[in-house]
Chains A and B, each alone.
Chain A
């Protein structure tokens, strides 16, 4: 049977060029008219360590990684060569071939570099291949690369072999290589690509797998979640970022830092994350649109500046790229376990706005929305995402980014406005009025005549003076809280909501998720409906202020609902129950926290377990029944 999709896994060591090769592979397939989606898996090491990227390609839109893969290009880990450390490195060299081999689908293809991997090292390879109907093509990729260029070019040889086996045109690859390199390096790579293709084309082939065909209605671009966030920030006029490197947040920081100088912006790499967040506040206070961000541990350091932003009503956007915790956890593995951390960190009755985009296009939209809300309502807005969304590439309509920039500073006065703004009898400008309509009291910017005020983390009077007067205290707390209601109303009234619905509206069952699992859940919903179930899904993307109306309506419309999230403590389910005060008996949980994002099949299995009872097939995911079940 010919499969409708390709899931091409390229595996090797960190430093073997897995990332760049897979990116070009995905781009070439996108150019050829296919929809693509990548899933990256890499260790926290500079060189060596098993790394792979899966490129999933179909003619229909792809929203998720697949279940396993059907083509393995195993380059071997060229950096795993420490015979003294047998215990740690012994198996490392062949890991690209052996790791998760069980996930290779029936009838799948294996190409491995016999220049690096000895097949006798791989237990029962032939036997297993016979059982599973795998088609194994040992190729001396290293030898080919050496012969026509340099050894490091064996990834190119692997791509040439792939093209031969799947009957893919070389031209898009040659175009992409020409865009990225030149001179002798380019010539050698093209030579290797062609030679490998020709050599493999002459071999006897016995597989059925083929590349699907497709076409796009409009021009496509290949973007990651991090790109979406950064580009959204740029289009909102963000021209200041401060940060400290930390995986996986570094991607957004890097993209911004590379683009800002070109557009007259400023990027600052500073001594720590406390400074990073404080710098963003300082720049915003002085009249720039500013952001900062980090991942779990770094974001923890931002708790205090976050509270200062809330208290001084200084607009700022922070991004938090979750990775597996606690503490240093697993730096390069995704998890959604910082939800409560981000919602509640910082002392006192503190408030912020939190968005959790479900894909790269939403990452762009919600980064923009975060800036709009932050500056219109003078409140910190956080974009919460994770290592999965950060690095996964997918094709998005180019026109999605064809929008007008919005450099507005929001609730900010110009110098001409200041004389007409409220003033105290003493003549002092009132920065923090007790009772503006939506809670927002417009600010001035240092340098403006007549607008001076003190921004302070202490409780303060309308003029900004430090005060512990009980009446003033209550008025100020109430006003700051009132902003959240206004924000909820604002968000609910927008044309493009932040919630994403999928599946038949009148379905009996529901699946709810937040953030980056959205696409995977949607694919599972499609499969479940095809299999005769009646299911729909809700991907929640604005978490604070919580979209009560949307979630309540969805939960009321279904008999039971499975909540899917990547953590062990069901934080999003807990949030939903806390915010809505009910539905405890309707909500069960499917959790995953082993460092890998859900596969659609796991959600299908989890859903069936929630309906039919019984046990989940493996230990990769965990099912928690609803209250009373």
Chain B
């Protein structure tokens, strides 16, 4: 066997004091988000959470999709991968498999995650990768100027649905739950303290953590107001349920999803489960190395196996 390599990834696992502005790009690009956009709230909450957790900017990989939300890693300085529409999750989860020591966060909009990338959302949740997925839910396609999205309310009128959408909106929390996500929460940009707490919990959670993040779109979705007033279901006497109980969680989600379209914004933690992450499961069956794969390529002493040694079966 090879000797222990010198650590090729010095930014990983330092647990040092981090100032929030370490995540601010040196040359800060002019944000493309409109004044009053909820996306600023996600950026702020993410910076706050990562600083609180002492995550070095260079041990974080932030993978995003396409849309206003996809610009998140333009304004959050870490390692970043701005992918293509709907595909942040497969890129992100493979990075986690190749190097489980990375703090992997994926982010995108509701069209990106629940529409074009819906298949990946379902399967990434099912596999329960140890990562965080933030979906900027503004119930609209913003960057393409206001078309109906998978979370737009039924009857929502837009240039592409001039008579109003005939479709019921998708139920993102329920979808995450039935697909297998082990942490499901909803927060809102207008609730910065809760947002930061929830992102902190999600990052710390050992499994797939899905955050449906309500981000008001002041330009294209004026109808959706500002997601105020909001209720934190953990603080409300009206909603008493056990977040570790799948049935109770399911009911609470259903209610919260309905309530949103009736003007009541229910936020908070909806589900938390401690089932093993995909990495743990995959190691348990012997299909994933104990040491991060990415480290091996920097270990000059590693003895790489050769196909020449597999040839007996071909003789």
Chain A interface residues toward B at CB < 8 A: 27, 31, 219-223, 227, 230-232, 234-235, 237, 239-240, 242, 259-268, 270-272, 274-276, 278-283, 285-290, 304-305, 307-308, 312, 364, 398, 401-405, 407-409, 414-415, 424, 426-428, 445-458, 463-466
Contact at A447–B99, with CB atoms within 8 Å?
yes
Contact yes or no, A282 B84, CB < 8 A = no
B53 to chain A, nearest CB (A): 16
Contacting residues, chain B, for A414 (C-beta < 8 A): 8, 298
User: Would A264 and B293 count as touching, CB distance under 8 A?
Assistant: yes
Contact B287 A271 (CB under 8 A): no
CB neighbours of A455 from chain B (8 A): 80-82
Per-position contact with A for B80-114: 1 when CB-CB < 8 Å, else 0? 11111001001111111111011000000000000
Q: How many Cβ-Cβ contacts under 8 Å join chain A to chain B?
A: 238
Give the docked Cα–Cα distance between A448 and B73 (Å).
Answer: 18
Q: Report A307 CB to chain B, min CB distance, Å.
A: 8
**Within 8 Å CB of B96, what residues of A?**
286
- Category for how many chain B residues contact A: 35 or more
Contacts from B to A (Cβ < 8 Å):
8-12, 25-27, 29, 57-61, 63, 66, 71, 73-74, 77-84, 87, 90-99, 101-102, 119-120, 122-123, 282, 286-289, 291, 293-294, 296-298, 302, 304-308, 310-311, 314-315
B93 touches A279 (CB 8 A): yes
Contacts of A446 in B (CB 8 A): 9, 58-61, 79, 95, 99, 102
- Residues on B with beta carbons closer than 8 Å to the beta carbon of A415: 8-10
A418 to chain B: closest residue by CB: B10
**Distance (whole angstroms) from the CB of B10 to the closest CB of chain A:** 4
Q: Which of A266, A270, A305, A451 contacts B84 (CB 8 A)?
A: A305
Set of chain B residues within 8 Å of A220, measured between Cβ atoms: 315
Task: Give chain A nearest CB distance to B117 CB in angstroms.
Answer: 9
Nearest chain B CB to A405's CB is how many angstroms away? Answer: 4
- Determine if A222 and B314 form an interchain contact, defined as CB atoms under 8 angstroms apart: yes
Assuming the A-B contacts A266-B97, A282-B90, A288-B297, are A427 and B26 also in contact, with contact meaning beta carbons closer than 8 angstroms in the complex? Answer: yes
The residue that B98 contacts in the complex, of A263, A270, A282, A448, with Cβ under 8 A, is A282
Please determine whether B305 and A282 come into contact, CB atoms closer than 8 angstroms: no
Which among B9, B81, B315 has the greatest number of chain A C-beta atoms within 10 A?
Answer: B81
A-B contact list, 15 entries, CB within 8 Å: A219-B315, A261-B286, A266-B293, A282-B95, A283-B94, A283-B95, A286-B102, A401-B307, A403-B308, A414-B298, A447-B9, A447-B102, A452-B77, A454-B80, A465-B74
Interchain CB contact (< 8 A) of B94 among A232, A239, A240, A426:
A240
CB-CB < 8 A to A424: which residues of B? 26-27
Task: Tell me which residues across on chain A come within 8 A of B298, comparing CB atoms.
Answer: 287, 414
Which residues of B lie under 8 Å from residue A222 when comparing CB positions? 314-315
Q: Is the CB of A227 within 8 A of B297?
A: no
Q: A264-B296, A282-B92 are in contact. Are A428 and B26 (CB under 8 A)?
A: yes
A240-B293, A446-B61, A448-B8 known; A279 and B90 CB under 8 Å?
yes
Nearest to B297 among chain A residues (CB) is A409
The smallest C-beta distance from B40 to any residue of chain A, in angstroms, reads: 18
Decide if A266 touches B294 in the complex (CB within 8 Å): no
Which one of A220, A230, A278, A427 has the greatest number of beta carbons of chain B within 10 Å? A278
